[in-house]
Structure 1
Amino acid sequence: MSEADQLARRFEEDRPRLRAVAQRMLGSGAEAEDAVQDTWLRLSRADSASIDNLPGWLTTTVGRVCLDRLRTRSARPEQPWDSPGPEPDPTGDGPVDPEREALLAESVGRALLVVLDTLAPTERFVFVLHDMFAVSFEEIATVVDRTPTAVRQIASRARRRVHQDGTVREADPARQRRVVEAFLAASREGRFDDLVSLLDPHVVMRADAVAATLWPAVETRGSAAIAGFFNGRAQAAVPAYVDGLPGAVVALGGGVRIAISFIVTDRIIGIEVVADPAQLATLLFAD
């Protein structure tokens, strides 16, 4: 298999996730497919050998394509909620992949799209990539030309707007909280297999510079590695909402010393650990 064929195969493996990103960003199945195809064109012209993390590159690239499209929308109003669901792949020669279509149908709700449509393009971009696909604030910052701290604040503002109406949530907040509490309990009790089952296989855990002195690395990937780190830990972690996300805090001396937030869809897809006092001061905590 040629290098070009291998690249095309890897892109097709990521196509369902890229289309889900674009669907959430643009609210239209047809536009989402166009954005995914545009992403493929950009990949085919890029130096693929210099791309260390292809899935991450593709996610931020399709997000950038969608952000550009959102910013240039003018005359025609978008009606993303007028379609009963995602459109079939017009480029496919065979039958529609039921698993892919099920993924898209589950991931894009009409009510959520209505609320997302009220966000400014940058807010929507940050919220979708971070809160739904666990892209780091550092990666997002390079796209929107802001600092990671500014991007975190944009995400917090967008999250509050999306969650303002308690009936509009992509996932049941009570269920998200239960997943996190189950994870913390399994961590404290050393139940490795349960930890793995609650984590997405491709979960990413990121720690800031201060937390990285206690954590295994600034970034850790994979359910087995992250479950191994948490196995038998979290003894002092107390469940809490961290800037609107289900999570946990470790408090010492009357103040929060470590904050852990979890991005939960079906399972945990992202974990962020903050221990920098300056960063902690910008976060909002709730029981």
Structure 2
Amino acid sequence: MTSGSPRAYLVRITTRLALNRLRTMRRRKEAYVGPWLPEPLLTAPDVAEDAVLAESVSMALMIVLERLSPTERAVFVLREAFDVGYDEIAAAVGKSPAAVRQIAHRARRHVDACRPREVVSPGQMRAALESFRRAFETGDRQGLLDVLAPEVVFVSDAGGVKRGALRPVAGAERVARFIVGGLGKAGGALTGDPAVVNGSPGLFVRVGGELDGVLAFSVVDGRIAGLCYVRNPEKLTRVGVRDPVTLR
């Protein structure tokens, strides 16, 4: 594929637009109130059944990608997701092919270091989610402790628009107390509707029947090790009003 081909031109233009967008978002994040989480992606149930597909859109991977620099992220996605050649990527990001190889290696090493070391089956995920949902809806603190891993971390993204923890909450006791004492007293009946979020089972959290946020989970050894709660209304505008992504 030559540098003057239509594909190379589209890759170059699209990449530069994406880089501009990523740099703008990075500046916004510097002034953001509280933790920043990616916008949740509603996916079809079949995505959760495919471990490779599920991992490729997982909230955990999206968070890792957010930590890369804009150039690292662009190089990683072009190379790993679309198998674009180094020369073509170099033209798109304005770097030499040698520099792009180094950037790709650095980004891949960072992503691999953050990937989970065990594959959790969809059945394990659903079982942990159902146990959590029952305890969550009833305010059963002991039920939450039974399903939360001791080192669980809860991260909420409210963006200063809604009430939320300004820092991650760590440890089963603290997370259970935060859920029961905070979310459980949000001003209405608390329910969790099962959904597939970023390729894994998750919950649409409703307070008094109105969507309050989206919970995404990570599970290790059958217990919930991570909770990501996107509550900022600006990040929920497309959830539930679009057809789920199938990636098929």
TM-score (structure 1 length as normaliser): 0.40
Greater helix fraction, Structure 1 or Structure 2: 1
TM-score (structure 2 length as normaliser): 0.46
